[in-house]
Amino acid sequence: MESKVISTEGKELKTLELSEAVFGLPINDDVIYYAINNELANKRLGTASTKDRGEVHGTNRRPYSQKGTGRARHGDTKSNVYVGGGISFGPKPRDFSYMMPRKAKRLAMKTILSMKAQDGTLSVVQDFTVPSGKTQDLVKALSTFVNPKTPERTVLILKDDDPMVKRAARNIPWLSYLTYNRLRAHDLFYGRKIIVLETAAALLGEFYAN
């Protein structure tokens, strides 16, 4: 599969051969769904908590006499039937995270990359960096592909942990930056534009080939 390599000025520089095993797969909706659900579940904090009748602060005294009132028998006002009493079967802190099979997760990433390459939202860009680390310089470099005035959700795939690009990108709300070997299915799937650096595109082919 061939793709044009574009400069930050918008000029077509050359043609790059992309791996069919990564960018030419058929769409597998199921594995994408499971990968995104897995990432969202792993991000859940699971801190919701309620008190049962044994944890509620209050007295153990009976609210009224056992007999003679005509009412139902009650032991204390911490029961779940009283306002301010305990909660029956309420949420407790828990861990929602779980492991997804490695092969399935890799297949999801390749499927999303293939989908984006086939629908034309993935662009291969000549390697660049932001020596100044300034946000305005990165926005200027990306302005060929994204209009800063009406930006769309964009994902930038890097070839390495470039600290200056990351420093410049962290203040851009519509931009997510990922390294080629640490992709996120949620960001890729919902990204309206995927910008892949030239070296990162080649490394993706090697990393996800098997």
Over residues 7-48, the pLDDT tens digits come to 988 888 889 999 999 999 999 999 999 999 999 999 999 999
CATH number for the domain harbouring residue 198: 3.40.1370.10
> How many domains are there within the chain?
1
Within-domain flag for 158: yes
Structure token pair of residue 63: 């609210």
Residue 186 reports pLDDT greater than 90: yes
Of all residues in the chain, the percent with pLDDT exceeding 90 is: 82
Within-domain flag for 78: no
Within-domain flag for 198: yes
Of 118, 148, 145, 147, residue with least CA distance to 156 = 145
Within-domain flag for 140: yes
Structure token pair of residue 27: 């769409």
Within-domain flag for 179: yes
Over residues 35-89, the pLDDT tens digits come to 999 999 999 999 999 999 999 999 989 999 999 999 999 999 999 999 999 999 9
Within-domain flag for 131: yes
- Report the alpha-carbon distance of residue 17 to residue 124 in Å, rounded: 11
Full residue range of the structural domain in which residue 119 is found: 2-27+102-207
Structure token pair of residue 57: 């602060």
The whole-model pTM stands at: 0.84
Within-domain flag for 172: yes
Beta-carbon contacts of 82 under 8 Å, excluding residues fewer than 6 positions away, are none
Residue 62: left if φ>0, alpha if ψ -120 to 50, beta else—which one? beta
Task: Specify the 3-state DSSP secondary structure of 97.
Answer: coil
Predicted pLDDT at 32: 97
Within-domain flag for 202: yes
Predicted pLDDT at 2: 85
Residue 209 reports pLDDT greater than 90: no
